[in-house]
Structure 1
Amino acid sequence: MTLAPVLTRLDNDLDRAVERLMELLRISSISTDPAYKGDCDTAADWLVADLASIGFDAAKRPTPGHPMVVAHGGTGAPHLLFYGHYDVQPVDPLALWDKPPFEPAIEDTPKGKVIRGRGTSDDKGQLMTFVEAMRAWVAETGELPCRITIFLEGEEESGSPSLVPFMKENAAELKADFAMICDTGLFDGRVPAITTQLRGLLAEEVIVKAASRDLHSGMYGGLAVNPIHLLTTILADLHDENGRVTLPGFYDDVPELPDEIRAQWQALSFDHSRFLGDIGLSVPYGEPDRTPLEKLWARPTAEVNGITGGYTGEGFKTVLPAEASAKVSFRLVGEQDPEKIHAAFVAHVEDRLPADVSAEFPAGHGAPASRMPTDAPEFETARKALSEEWGMEAAFIGSGGSIPIAGHFQDVLGMDSMLIGFGRDDDQIHSPNEKYDLESFHKGMRSWARIMAALSGKG
């Protein structure tokens, strides 16, 4: 059996795998700060050399920003593309770190050993779980389990400006049967999971304009229209008494959750009271006939993110403002079309404007939801492999947020993704004292070895 000796090697080589991860973590590859451009290059070079040492044909590929790392290796089916990113978030505020962020170390905590340092969980520790699994596979068998392309980005934490152009220019080279994305985590910190649906996002801004200037409320109040009153009424009309969005046609392209996925989510025993209690709330809001996880992962939303207008400084100023504005975001699911929702939102506002009042919409932009084909046999194969490693049933889960790369793989390369990661909610990514559990690193490597064995038929 091919898999057993690979797993044994991963166990025996754990200390050396941690040492290699530490080397990568010491490189301060902060992509958003130009002062660290050289460090991003150094991180890319380190990864190219490490992948080449395993047997990959690896190269640093230039972009207008930070370089991509692309590596190819192996033969046979399936052809899998693995994506990760080597850049990290800035470390500010530095004073809140218990030790220097780019001097990683193993620490003992009440919950077990952790690797502490910037990038440990997001995403260097995660991407190295895959690299280490392939290293062990080659060491034991002399070859990779199947045809593999590795695609590592250096701008994920700074908006990925070079990503889509690079993918379009190199689509034939990057196209594979499936993409594997490691930038996710365990459900509730314990249950292995494959994220198979991601909500899309539509961002809107609306500016309601009335009088030609701010007005004295004593002289004009009661006669002139107040844009703040009008805007808040319009925004309130976005929902009915049950929290459903009132835009015409909003739910036309929203699918019902398949029974088998609903059963998996119910088996997760999500504690919504604890989830809300952690932020000082207690009562679930929204559609009363939907479970909490459905609301978070599989139902669309309309949220007012901010309102401005009038005088908001110190003291008091009795004005009727000339204009008021709001930022509104829609989380989209299923086949909801951002352009269709944008048009419905514009109509919703304009239909409620009285004479003398106008509205502008300067910011409308968005991306649709991503939904993966869980009925494809490869997804169930990967789920079973995860279950075997973690000793509990892995689940197909959703994500309330958006992971743009999964949508780009669908739109640009025409391939679906398995989002599999081993982070935990308390990893403090983007914050001081980021960490990655040593267990996540170790079992993450073993998980990828099992998944690749199962998908390539070499288990």
Structure 2
Amino acid sequence: MTQHDASLDAVLAHIDSNFNASLDRLDALVRFKSISTDPAYKDECQKAADWLAAELNGIGITTQVHPTPGHPMVVGHDSDTSDKPGPHVLFYGHYDVQPVDPLELWSADPFEPAIVERDGVKMMFGRGTSDDKGQLLTFVEACRAYKEVLGALPVALSLLFEGEEESGSPSLLPFLNANKKELSKDLALVCDTTMFNADTPAITTMLRGLVGEEITITAANRDLHSGMYGGPAANPIRILAKILASLHDDEGRVLIPDFYDGVSELTPEVKAQWDALPFDDKAFLADVDLSVPAGESGYSVYEQINARPTCEFNGITGGYTGDGFKTVIASKASVKISCRLVGQQDPDKIRENLRAFVKALVPADCSVEFSEHGASPAHSLSPDFPPLKQGAKALKDEWGKEAIQMGMGGSIPIVGEFKSILDMDSMLIGFALDDDNIHSPNEKYNLTSYHKGIRSWARVLAALAE
């Protein structure tokens, strides 16, 4: 056994023997009612930030609480500044939580954590246990074990915890821009994602980006009586419907010009890994009472939601939509569209080409207006990215299974902001499960996720130092 192996084994043993104390700290953090979107809980957010700073300072990570126009940022740097192998990593998490409504659907007080056993599985219930307090503390507790056993971390480390992730992160971009030099490191680690299932670890290597756009078509200068004007008068609802129908072909491909520029196929290795996953296309759709895949032909449902771009219609308005019936030709009709992006698709180019596509189909005596609703590029890690291989090996050593290189259909804006502002790639490793009820009543975090999550981060930090 090498000295490296012996040191890691000692850290893992310490994690195991002190797990109850780690649970007590999770219990304490969950009790803060750090609901960022509600001004009534501003003091609770401050208390949670102060608690985290005190815990980090207590293990030798010099930490400050930075005020913002909203809720505080917690920034820590390991006080051991000696030269260390591997990258200098920045770990990111958030201490704020979603509102608890509807409260009556909770089985207990959301901020009085309770450990319950169901079907042999122990779990802690409470708002934030999974998203993101439990996830955040898996990393902090791994750092604590290194400090208490070896007196030092294996790699250079900084940490950034924000308190507004659940309310749109309004203070984050200004803070990143104002503190680029301090926060820009070699690699970001993010623990706000899931495993593939309860015993299969995962590294999220692909996140879809997003373009949001609202389109409003105006025809007549007022709503018209459909008996008097029906026929000769342009109907913006009909115009809009025709435009929307022309955005896809019969195979589900998006017809916006150059839409697929920058879209790559999966590598053979990842394709084979995904094809071998126990993911049931039929069961996935049956869960929402559907049966026929409606996405891009030639790709599995799992590929469609994780690795292919989309153009979806999220809401259409126009004319009379109240009770009863009104024979009116609306003067306006609008749609909200979201495009999920993958690979190297350019959000600005997608928006520009979508607008040009729509303008070309609007009649000459009608007008169209566009409103932006955000844009962010996709995120992907190269299969050859060294930390990815190191992280995957560390997770396999802990869980006994190959770590899935997973895609995620949604978007995590912080990952794109780390890249665009701090010029830093991110590796996303999380231990939440799909049934953790995040953002919903009765949120929970399995104790195995918490315990093995701490052990996993200890292994990952050791691997990054090699």
**Is the contact made by 1:30 and 1:36 (CA closer than 8 Å) also made in structure 2?**
yes
Kindly state the Cα deviation for residue 111 of structure 1 after the two structures are TM-superposed.
5.1
Q: Are positions 1:62 and 2:71 aligned together? A: no
Partner of 2:189: 180
Moved over 6 A (4+): none
Partner of 2:3: none
Partner of 2:453: 444
3-state DSSP class of the match of 1:255? coil
Partner of 2:328: 319
Residues 206-251 of structure 1: per-residue CA shift (max 9 Å, x gap): 1011011111111111111111111001000000000000111111
Kindly state the Cα deviation for residue 363 of structure 1 after the two structures are TM-superposed.
2.5
Segment drifting more, 247-256 vs 2-11: 247-256
Give the 3 Å change call, closer, same or farther, for CA 370–211 of structure 1 in structure 2. same
Partner of 2:108: 99
Kindly state the Cα deviation for residue 190 of structure 1 after the two structures are TM-superposed.
3.4
**Of residues 191, 197, 207 in structure 1, which corresponds to 2:206?**
197
Residues 351-395 of structure 1: per-residue CA shift (max 9 Å, x gap): 111231111102353111111233122210110110111111111
Segment drifting more, 417-426 vs 142-151: 142-151
Q: Are positions 1:207 and 2:216 aligned together? A: yes
**Is the contact made by 2:343 and 2:378 (CA closer than 8 Å) also made in structure 1?**
yes
Q: Are positions 1:34 and 2:46 aligned together? A: no
Q: Counterparts in 2 of 1:52-131, with a 5 A limit?
A: 52-73=57-78, 74=80, 75=82, 76-77=84-85, 78-110=87-119, 112-131=121-140
**Of residues 129, 134, 158 in structure 2, which corresponds to 1:149?**
158
Structure 1, unaligned stretches of length 5 or more? none
**Is the contact made by 1:194 and 1:418 (CA closer than 8 Å) also made in structure 2?**
yes
Kindly state the Cα deviation for residue 454 of structure 1 after the two structures are TM-superposed.
1.1
**Is the contact made by 2:281 and 2:300 (CA closer than 8 Å) also made in structure 1?**
no
What is the TM-score with the length of structure 2 in the denominator? 0.96
What is the TM-score with the length of structure 1 in the denominator? 0.98
Kindly state the Cα deviation for residue 268 of structure 1 after the two structures are TM-superposed.
1.8
Kindly state the Cα deviation for residue 188 of structure 1 after the two structures are TM-superposed.
3.4
Distance in structure 2 (CA, Å) of the matches to 1:407 and 1:240 = 30
3-state DSSP class of the match of 2:233? coil
Partner of 2:291: 282
**Is the contact made by 2:436 and 2:444 (CA closer than 8 Å) also made in structure 1?**
yes
Q: Counterparts in 2 of 1:44-55, with a 5 A limit?
A: 44-55=49-60
Report the residue type matching 1:175 in the other structure. Answer: S
Partner of 2:22: 17
Distance in structure 2 (CA, Å) of the matches to 1:207 and 1:94 = 38
**Of residues 248, 263, 282 in structure 1, which corresponds to 2:257?**
248
Kindly state the Cα deviation for residue 2 of structure 1 after the two structures are TM-superposed.
0.8
3-state DSSP class of the match of 1:444? helix
3-state DSSP class of the match of 1:361? strand
Report the residue type matching 1:384 in the other structure. Answer: K
**Is the contact made by 1:189 and 1:425 (CA closer than 8 Å) also made in structure 2?**
no
Q: Are positions 1:309 and 2:318 aligned together? A: yes
Give the 3 Å change call, closer, same or farther, for CA 190–283 of structure 1 in structure 2. farther
Segment drifting more, 113-122 vs 345-354: 345-354
Distance in structure 2 (CA, Å) of the matches to 1:94 and 1:253 = 45
Report the residue type matching 2:97 in the other structure. Answer: V
**Is the contact made by 1:6 and 1:449 (CA closer than 8 Å) also made in structure 2?**
yes
3-state DSSP class of the match of 1:231? helix
Q: Counterparts in 2 of 1:389-400, with a 5 A limit?
A: 389-400=398-409
3-state DSSP class of the match of 2:293? coil
**Is the contact made by 1:338 and 1:365 (CA closer than 8 Å) also made in structure 2?**
no
Q: How many residues align?
A: 457
Distance in structure 2 (CA, Å) of the matches to 1:241 and 1:111 = 48
Segment drifting more, 253-262 vs 241-250: 253-262
Distance in structure 2 (CA, Å) of the matches to 1:303 and 1:111 = 41
Q: Counterparts in 2 of 1:411-422, with a 5 A limit?
A: 411-422=420-431
Structure 2, unaligned stretches of length 5 or more? 1-5
Kindly state the Cα deviation for residue 281 of structure 1 after the two structures are TM-superposed.
1.0
3-state DSSP class of the match of 1:363? strand
Residues 56-108 of structure 1: per-residue CA shift (max 9 Å, x gap): 11111111111111111144132111100000111111111111110001111
Distance in structure 1 (CA, Å) of the matches to 2:320 and 2:147 = 66
Q: Are positions 1:347 and 2:352 aligned together? A: no
